[in-house]
Amino acid sequence: MKARVHITLKNGVLDPQGKAIQHALSALGFDGVDDVRQGKYIELDLQETNPAKAEAAVEEMCKKLLSNTVIENYTIEIE
Amino acid sequence: MKTAVIVFPASNCDRDMIVALEKITGHKPHIIWHQDEEIPPVDLIALPGGFSFGDYLRCGAMAARSPVTKKVIEHADRGGNVIGICNGFQILTETGLLPGALMRNESLKFVCKDAALRVENSDTPFTNAYSEGQVITVPVAHHDGNYFADDETLKAIEGEGRVAFRYVDDAGQMTKASNPNGSRNNIAGIINRRKNILGMMPHPERLIDDVQGGTDGLGFFQSMINAIN
């Protein structure tokens, strides 16, 4: 099965890249963008066939490597 | 003082560190490749600057999970001294040996210049040859040196005197203009609670000989000699 992991910066953590994207959008004439937060998207192909076990495994992966929980949050979708 | 320098793929300040440690201790450090399974008994392990594993995923993330790093953590847990310079600091935060994280510079630009640092705590094995409040000039060269810790962690670090160095202007004042990367509270380097681990973004190993333009980094190494010998 497939796992999709989104990693985003926690609220309160400054995101200078998001700010730069926002400025660039504004310079291109895309008005009305109040804020931009950028992050990472990771796709995993798993051998596991049990969704609950797959999610638990990916959760461990997020805690141990995929995200830095000091600054980042993660969400997991299993399909 | 017996020392070891850990070399990861894409470390690039390892030679500077080796030269500095050899000059100051009189002994060549053990050079430990990241796949080596053992680190000989030493007084100090140095994690050098660079871009270990190409900064993939996050700076220092891969190196922090590398097998040799487990040995570094064991050494630190036994009370052994560890320093992490630049990428080494990023690795130390990724292992959790030091709190916080190093994020992309606020300017989004790679910063390479001399930075004035104020010694905030001279009662550590890494700073005792300096005096408190002394301003030294040490080069910085990084893209991800923006020190972040949440409010609670920052309060603890500050309250326990664990800021070793802070970015200041030439007069020793902490200003926004003197902060090269957006670090919270202008933090350039911190120590752990037990005072045996230090991480810093600036490069003292690049300023140990007049031919390098100055010797402000010598005190950093002299401090460790004072503490360990």
**DSSP secondary structure code for residue B145 in this structure:** -
Percent of chain B at pLDDT above 90?
Answer: 99
Which residue of A14, A20, A65 is in closest CB contact with B61?
A65
Buried b (16+ CB within 10 A) or exposed e, B131-143: eeebbbebbbbbb
DSSP A45-72: E-S---HHHHHHHHHHHIIIII--TTTE
pTM: 0.95
Q: How many domains does chain A have?
A: 1
Q: How far is B101 from chain A (nearest CA, A)?
A: 7
CATH of the domain at A35: 3.30.1280.10
Tokens standing for A67? 């995200």
Using the beta-carbon criterion (under 8 Å), do B148 and A68 form an inter-chain contact?
Answer: no
- Per residue in B215-228, pLDDT (tens digit) is 999 999 999 999 98
Domain that holds residue A42: 2-78
Using the beta-carbon criterion (under 8 Å), do A16 and B58 form an inter-chain contact?
Answer: no
Residue of B nearest to A41 (CA): B57
Say what the ipTM of the complex is: 0.87
Give the type of residue at B108: L
Query: Please, which pLDDT band fits residue B37 given cuts at 50, 70 and 90?
Result: confident
Total CB pairs under 8 A between chain A and B: 38
Using the beta-carbon criterion (under 8 Å), do A20 and B108 form an inter-chain contact?
Answer: yes
Q: What is the structure's pLDDT at B110?
A: 97
Segment holding B140, helix H or strand E: strand B135-142
From the number of C-beta atoms within 10 Å of its C-beta (0-12, 13-18, 19+), residue B8 rates as: buried
Which residue of B100, B107, B182 is in closest CB contact with A70?
B100
CATH of the domain at B61: 3.40.50.880
- Per residue in B43-81, pLDDT (tens digit) is 999 999 999 999 999 999 999 999 999 999 999 999 999
Q: How many domains does chain B have?
A: 1
- Per residue in B101-117, pLDDT (tens digit) is 999 999 999 999 999 99
B58 vs B64, B116, B174, CA distance in Å?
10, 27, 29
Residue B46 and residue B13 in contact, taking contact as beta carbons nearer than 8 Å: no
From the number of C-beta atoms within 10 Å of its C-beta (0-12, 13-18, 19+), residue B222 rates as: middle
pLDDT at residue B229 greater than cutoff 90:
no
Q: What are phi and psi of B52, to 5 degrees?
A: -50, 135
Tokens standing for B37? 């399974």
- Per residue in A11-63, pLDDT (tens digit) is 989 898 999 999 999 999 999 999 999 999 999 999 999 999 999 999 999 99
Give the residues across from B179 on adjacent strands: none
* Range B172-196 average pLDDT: 97
Using the beta-carbon criterion (under 8 Å), do A66 and B57 form an inter-chain contact?
Answer: yes
Q: What is the C-alpha to C-alpha distance for residues B128 and B126, in angstroms, rounded to an integer? A: 6
Q: What is the structure's pLDDT at A12?
A: 87
**DSSP secondary structure code for residue B109 in this structure:** S
Tokens standing for A55? 């999610």
Which residues of B carry out catalysis? Answer: 86, 203, 205
Q: How far is B201 from chain A (nearest CA, A)?
A: 18
Q: What are phi and psi of B163, to 5 degrees?
A: -85, 120
Domain that holds residue B118: 3-228
